[in-house]
Amino acid sequence: MTDLPGSVPEDRAAVRDALVAWYEDDHREFPWRRTDDPYEILVSEVMSQQTQLGRVVAAWEDFLERWPTAADLAAADRADVVAFWTSHSLGYNNRAKYLHESARQVTEGEVEGVEPGEWPQTPELLQELHGVGPYTANAVASFAFNNGDAVVDTNVKRVLYRAFDVPDDDAAFEDVARALMPDGESRVWNNAIMELGGVACEKTPACDAESCPWREWCHAYETGDFTAPDVPTQPEFEGSRRQMRGRVISTLKEYDELALDDLGPRIRVDYAPDGEYGREWLSGLLADLSDDGLVEVDERDGETVARLG
């Protein structure tokens, strides 16, 4: 395979499996993640544009209670749809008009090659719907039909930039995103990587608190530099516990295993076995990493020995 920009690990299967397992183990519950109805997903995508997801839930449920199918929406008075949009503070009333028009196009079969009442199933055909751009079309194809391309939004760019040192270039982000997404799994993959960017890798990262599944490979976690295309200034990080954890991961990548007193000086130059930053401090760091499944710790011949998990 052609070399990718940045530092994408050679074992891409491990990277994929770790992210999908993390997502499937625990993620935010939004009602549109429990459906594969393209109409319901399109409504959620249009509502979510520039609106916080927490506010979208109630509006989405109210909208679908009033107009449960595309045919119901197409038959509605456009003024009523716009009034609903305004009353729920969703902003940009044109989006309500576009959604209403898209429902009419589907109901009347205006997309070439698609029967009336049926939905286009590819990103290309979904863009034939009024007001549906490439991003929204791909999201509906992914989440409704598992037939989309890799999503590359601001959150995904931030994740790839930090994790794999991908340069701030749209073509580079798209190349890496496509290479990482498993074939035929756009639904779970796009949900998972967007969840990673929205929960663990926000502008202020929560790597350890959210058990980010990519810490083992993450360039930012290793170096402590959490800048990104949408994060122009680096958060205070020098000397933090998170930075030290990253150094442990980085150091153990170079060795099969290390005893505590061999590892310590490689993590902090001021490491002293009985000092403030000594065995007790390092043991606590390793215990946290062990709890997260990133490091294994053994007692051998009276010494504590650490290796990557």
Span 102-143, pLDDT tens digits? 999 999 999 999 999 999 999 999 999 999 999 999 999 999
Q: Which alpha helices (H) appear in the chain, and where do they start and end? A: 12-25, 38-48, 53-66, 70-75, 78-87, 94-108, 123-126, 134-145, 154-164, 170-180, 186-199, 219-223, 241-254, 260-267, 279-291
- pLDDT value for 1: 42
Q: Are strands 295-300 and 258-259 parallel, antiparallel or unpaired?
A: unpaired
pLDDT band at 50 (very low <50, low <70, confident <90, very high): confident
Distance (Å, rounded) from C-alpha 288 to C-alpha 279?
A: 14
Residues ≥6 apart with Cβ < 8 Å to 190: 139, 142, 143, 148, 150, 151, 181
What local confidence, expressed as pLDDT, does residue 16 receive?
96
For residue 236, the model assigns a pLDDT of 57
Q: Does 163 score more than 80 pLDDT? A: yes
Per-residue pLDDT at 270: 83
| Dihedral, CA of residue 246, residue 252, residue 254 and residue 256, to nearest 10 | -170
Q: Give the mean pLDDT of the chain.
A: 91
For residues 254 and 38, the model is more confident at 38
Instruction: With beta carbons less than 8 A apart as the criterion, state whether 178 and 262 touch.
Output: no
| Catalytic residue set | 45
Separation of alpha carbons 106 and 38, rounded Å: 11
Q: Please give the pLDDT value at position 49.
A: 84
pLDDT over 80 (residue 233): no
Tell me the pLDDT band of 232, cut-offs 50, 70 and 90.
Answer: low
